[in-house]
Amino acid sequence: MSVFARRTVPLLAAILLSVLSNGTTFALQVTGLKDPAAFIVDPATGNYFISSENGQPTERDNNGFITKLGPDGKIINLKFIEGGAGGITLHAPQGLAVIGRTLYVSDIDQVRRFHADTGRALGELDLSSVPVDFLTGLATDGHSTLYIADAGADAILQLDTRRSSKPTVLVKDPALAGPHGLAVNPATGALVVVSWNTGKILEVTTAGAVKVLFANSLFNARFGNLTGVDFDASGNMYVSDFSQGKVIRIDPNFRFQTIAEFLTTPASLGIDRKNHLILVPYRSGDVAEMNGLGRERKR
């Protein structure tokens, strides 16, 4: 086990251990990854997916891969989808989202589609009408809407996957400041965005208006480079801070709690609401973790 692994696993396990429905505690580490960027659960099957850039985020080297885990957290296939294998193109996958049986993957300036059960390539979204720069996070509203963060263009795209394969621009605004992670609050339906450039947490309305929820100030530099955001079933928000090595929980009453720190480059986290687990990839550590969440601070 690496020095990184020895340091982060006990820390997160000590802070976040919880019990599953069968009464057992849960903490698990996934190894064998290469520059992992995102970690999500498929709500329909309970399987998990992890994207590995396997190189620099903008390198068109066609060696990125997606790892698939079973509901027990064990690896089903380390390279379930692999760039350069079987005619698949996948350079540096970042954001992940599942709608129906389609797995959506952001890859530099494309959003690629794969069958979530087989890994079969299903083509790419048509982005010809919305010039993009550098795509990062993906999110879904739990139904048919897909949201796409464009960190390079300070924009959020949206797509109704039932009606079209052509996204439209929901908002393009410098205030987004390099949008990275995206999530829809299951309690309110609000789209929340975290900023890489300025460490802001923002809310975007259905009309594309941007509201700042939290921002650094001269006297309170709380956040660094934010990469991920998601919500648990109680409406608590979780944010990963890549540069400061923290995971922060913000409850519905806007109380902050650092639930893990001294981490090495936590990337875009996810929450498994059914099993009350937090899913955190560590980009430079080449590992990812699943840990139980504490159950305090509900409404």
Would residue 173 count as lying in a domain?
A: yes
> Cα separations (Å) of 235 from 80, 87, 97, 102, 254?
32, 41, 19, 26, 11
DSSP-assigned letters across all residues of 75-88: EEEEEEEETTSTT-
For 171-183, write each residue's pLDDT tens digit: 999 999 999 999 9
Q: Which residues pair with residue 249 across a beta bridge?
A: 238, 257
* DSSP three-state, residue 29: strand
- Total domains in the chain come to 1
How long, in residues, is the chain?
299
Would residue 145 count as lying in a domain?
A: yes
The Cα 179–Cα 196 span in angstroms is 6
CATH number for 247: 2.120.10.30
Binned at pLDDT 50, 70 and 90, residue 26 comes out as: low
Would residue 281 count as lying in a domain?
A: yes
pLDDT of the residue at 269 = 98
Would residue 66 count as lying in a domain?
A: yes
Would residue 132 count as lying in a domain?
A: yes
Would residue 102 count as lying in a domain?
A: yes
pLDDT of the residue at 293 = 86
pLDDT of the residue at 278 = 96
Range of the domain at 141: 3-292
- Tell me the mean pLDDT in the region 124-150: 95
Would residue 297 count as lying in a domain?
A: no
Neighbours of 227 (CB within 10 A): 27
Instruction: Using the predicted structure, report yes or no on whether residue 20 has a pLDDT greater than 70.
Output: no
Give, for 12, the enclosing helix (H) or strand (E). helix 3-16
Q: Number of C-alpha atoms within 13 angstroms, CB side, residue 273?
A: 18
Would residue 298 count as lying in a domain?
A: no
Convert 85-119 to b/e letters by CB count within 10 Å (16 or more is b). eeebebbbbbbbbbbeeebbbbbbbbbbbbebeeb
For 219-249, write each residue's pLDDT tens digit: 677 899 999 999 999 899 999 999 999 999 9
For 72-101, write each residue's pLDDT tens digit: 999 999 999 999 999 999 999 999 999 999
